[in-house]
Amino acid sequence: MWHWRRHVPLWRVARNFLVVYLCRYLPSLPLKNLLYRSLGVRVGRRTAAGLGATLDVFFPQLISIGDDTIIGYNTVILAHEFLRRELRIGPVVIGADVMIGANCTILPGVVIGDGAVISAHSLVNDDVPAGGVVGGVPARPLDGVTKE
What percent helix, strand, coil does the chain show, rounded to 5? Answer: 20, 25, 55
- The reply to whether 146 falls in a domain is no
Does 68 fall in a domain? yes
Q: Residue 128 has what DSSP assignment?
A: B
- Structural domain of 121: 4-141
* Residue pLDDT, tens place only, 33-76: 999 999 999 999 999 999 999 999 999 999 999 999 999 999 99
Please report whether residue 120 resides in a domain: yes
Domain tally, the chain: 1
Kindly report, residue by residue over 2-12, the tens digit of the pLDDT: 666 677 888 99
Residue 63 lies in a domain: yes
Q: How many residues does the chain have?
A: 148
Write out pLDDT tens, residues 85-99.
Answer: 778 899 999 999 999
23: confidence class by pLDDT, cuts 50, 70, 90: very high
CATH number, domain at 105?
Answer: 2.160.10.10
On whether residue 51 sits in a domain, the answer given is yes
Is residue 147 one of the residues assigned to a domain? Answer: no
**Has residue 148 been placed in a domain?**
no
**91, 62 contact by CB (below 8 A):** yes
